[in-house]
Structure 1
Amino acid sequence: MGNDVVVCLLLTLVMLLMAAHLRETTGLRYLGVSYLLMSCGLSVLLLRGAVPAVAAIVIQNGCFYAGILLQFAGTQALLGLRARLGPWIAMAVLSETALGFYHQPRHLALRIAIFSATCLVLRMPLLVSLWRNAGRGLVVKLLSGFTVFFMACEIARGVLTVVFGVSRELFKNNILQVSYFAVTLIAGCAIGFLSLVLAAQEATALSERRARRDMLTGALNRMGIEELLAAELSRCRRTHAALSVALLDIDDFKFFNDKDGHSAGDDVLRKIAGCISRNLRPYDACGRIGGDEFLVVFPASGSLEAEVICNRILEAVGHLPSYPNVGRAPTVSIGFTQIDEHDTVEELMNRADEALYAAKRLGKNCAQVKLAPIGAQPSGVALHLSASA
């Protein structure tokens, strides 16, 4: 039992140290506190006799229940999901009430059965969540396996305790109870280690995502959007699907910076990025590729579909408020084009850039298209355009 406490405290220390280093990984803090609570529950169990019976029962089992729920919340956070704890907290409170009521030594077997059943139920949402997310990798699958193993131990302990009973000396000459804590110690260590691995993986994935995000606007940065465009272009060559891109430039952006300060310029960038993102479809992508320039990628879309979305963006930007020091509201010019089967990324971007400059020459605050010669369009794109028409 003392070993269980030491292991829980070590896992707590490691997780909280990692959480301090990886500040965005909230799940590790939850997991660290969960193991701390479990070690507290084990400590109270070791000190039985020194603490009043009812208080000891309520504290030790409450620590275990809270630890299980925080383990669920922490794992959900690592998976990028939210944990709904309300019903499970209510169940833990009901179990605590029952355990406090049956506090007499003669009720020890019943208390163990109630505790095992409650732990089994409280682990169910964690198992369901891990099962649903098993496709996210081997670590999640292993976590699912050890959680099932833990639950099987709870079932075995509860059933065997009811069948064979238990002596008042919980761990003296009692192979069942000693075996339960030894086996769950191993499972708990495995779950703790796998949680640390999962946290490290999620932190790495978060860093990679941030490396491809523009921190000011939340859009992809130049590297992120160009990687996505290259991947889409490669896919189009394999499948002969349509693909369109658009370049958006904020008109006279320099005036906003010069007359209203850089904070106003930043505000304009954020608002324009918001107008773009709110009018894109789930599979479209937007990236900021320069100071005031954005690139939008429209997968599986011809120029007619791109035109519809570009006009929606123009309309959304047209509703932005005016900046008093500048004397006008921000507007954008848009140039868009559709893929030709022989296009490179550079050729596609050059054609969109030419369309953008055409929009500027026409007085700005409009969208213009420039397509490759009709004869160069792949058959898949031509069909897509005629269907759209």
Structure 2
Amino acid sequence: MKHIMEHEDFLGPIKNVDDSKCLSASQYYSFIATFMKHLHSNIPANDYLDFSRPAHIEIRDDFFRGKNTKRAVVFLLSNGCEWALKSAHGCTMCGHIAKQARKDQPISTEDFVTQFETAFSTADIDGIPVLNIFNNGSFFNDDELPREARTTILNLINKNKNIKRVLVESRPEFITPSVLQETKSLIPGTELEIAIGLETTDDIRRSISLNKGFSLRQFTDAANIIRKNDIHLRSYILLKPPFFSERGAINDAVQSIETAFSLGVGAVSLEAMTVQKYTLVEYLYNNNLYQMPWLWSIVEVIKRTAHLGRVIIGLFKFYPSPDSVPNNCPLCNNKVMDAIIEYNKTLRPDVFNQLHCKCKEDWKEVLEKSSDYYDNLRDFILVEKNKDSILRSA
């Protein structure tokens, strides 16, 4: 709290992220909203989208019920996440909206159902037990995915007995007992897993670095509802949000994973930062204000948390695909990535024991050069306000 008090001149009274007035009074919050609005305004118009087809389909590896398997991933074409379309303009690292429709009028139930049917007929999902449905937003937000479309899609899933588990994503505010009970009733023979992007359990830094727009208390309330309805909960934990040092990012990820499991999370996806277009992270990266996390940092987090529960490593597969991803050096990047892929197949951290490279010493030197989070943040804001920046008038 000492650092926050020292920097309140530009942070504003941001100490209670459950209080929307508290957030809106923060200078930084208005800076980010202005910045994100500008970045999103540069997204080219998608005038020729085919609303009868999903945005993207792919088959990925998975570890399900103790063995290696496959999962089908379907990205529905939507208008985008409502949070990204509101006045705060969404999460600072998320580039999903760049490939969404962003139409003034809603996408129809019929189009959503047709997209899903097209995905089923296009992808070879016979024998694939896990299905991920992503609408690049909240599956349970009726304003993003109409309730009728959601129920029809779930009914179609229920007819396919090969599908043993369905994974969807949602922000916590759309998790209610009634919507979960309805969903379970529509797929009675299929497990349901809900993923929430908690990212970090530090409320202040989740708000400042990521502009997530919800608190740990809201996440905890949603987790309790999910657990009481006997539904699986997955949490995304992000490695190295903006303004974190490498060491600070590792420690924060470890602490956040520990807290997530203590709150009843059944699985954690460790998602190391990537650079996607039209994001604050891209701006910071291109202006030498952000460095990608090391692959060694991913390995370190896993070594310190794998014993806590099911910790999976995200493999930087997003839609749209990122421009830059975590790395070490050209001599060991492929070797370390192969070990990460092998870890996901077994969830055994000992696959990392034999990894060695000269660049690991460079990584250790970076860890020793710790920088203060709030100093990094303040430097960014002061630099932007002192140049011809979109932040000047914020």
TM-score normalised by the shorter chain: which range applies? under 0.3
What TM-score do the two structures reach when normalised by structure 1?
Answer: 0.25
Query: Which structure's CA Rg is the greater one?
Result: 1
Which structure has greater strand proportion? 2
